[in-house]
Structure 1
Amino acid sequence: MKDNQEHLYFLNSLYRDCILPQILGTDDQDILYWAGKHVSRQYDLSDIDELPEFFDMAEFGTLKILKQKKHSALFELSGQTVSDRLDSGSEEFSLESGIIAECIERQTQTPTEASATINPKNHTVQITAQSD
């Protein structure tokens, strides 16, 4: 099983951190964010409680909901995948942010934006979602 996980990580990293930035150029963050919103709609993610399992299946890392308020939510993305991506110099988590933003927007029926902040000290990414 470990070989399969390493293979999936390699493919994910190859596409996300090597090929897509070359194809998308300077617009990669915006395009990946909107692609994340599309992924959330495609997989009918409309409840934030579904997100941790989806992130695990997609090999994005371990997603935890740290705080949830009426108009905001704070998530932490961690795990070996995140650590490896950060160690390789990847600081692009717009796809994940878009997935979260669209899921919350669908759940609350309120326009929502999300952004990622990297915590290099503990190899985690915090994603903050804010609704209008």
Structure 2
Amino acid sequence: MQANNEHSYFINQLYRDFLLPKILGEDTKEILYWAGKQIARHYALSDVSDLTEFFEMSEFGALTLVKEKRASQTFELTGQSVTDRLDSKSTDFELEAGIIAETLEKANDRPCEASVTILTKEQKVQIIAQF
């Protein structure tokens, strides 16, 4: 199992953390955010349970809803893939933020934007979706 996880991380690192930023340049974050929204539409993600399942299946990490308010929802993304990415200085999680924003926008029928905060000491990523 360990070799499989290492292989998955290597492929993710190769494409996402090395190749895409070279191709997309300074627009990487904006394009990945847009791509995340497109992914949520394509896979018809419609609620938080869809999000957590999708994130696990795609090996983005374990996504947990940690706080819910009227105008926002706060998620934490944890797990080995997140730790590996942070350890390799990859701090671009806009793809994940776009997926969350689009899913919640559809689920709540109101505009939603998501922002990313890296919690380095805790080895996790916080994504706040605001309506």
Q: Same fold (TM over 0.5)?
A: yes
For residue 5 of structure 1, report the CA deviation from its aligned partner. Answer: 2.1
AA partner of residue 103 (structure 1): T
Matches of 2:100 and 2:73, distance apart in 1: 10
- Secondary structure of 1:20's aligned partner: helix
For the aligned residue pairs, the C-alpha RMSD in angstroms reads 0.8
AA partner of residue 58 (structure 2): A
For residue 124 of structure 1, report the CA deviation from its aligned partner. Answer: 0.4
Aligned to 2:7: 7
For residue 69 of structure 1, report the CA deviation from its aligned partner. Answer: 2.1
Q: Does 1:28 align with 2:15?
A: no
Q: Does 1:54 align with 2:54?
A: yes
Q: What is the percentage of aligned positions where both structures have the same residue?
A: 56
AA partner of residue 79 (structure 1): G
Q: Deviations over 1:47-71 (max 9, x none)?
A: 1121111101111011100012222
- Secondary structure of 1:90's aligned partner: coil
Unaligned runs of 5+ in 2: none
Q: Where has structure 1 moved over 3 Å in runs of 4 or more?
A: none
State TM-score, norm by structure 1.
0.96
Matched ranges for 1:23-102 at <5 A? 23-102=23-102
Unaligned runs of 5+ in 1: none
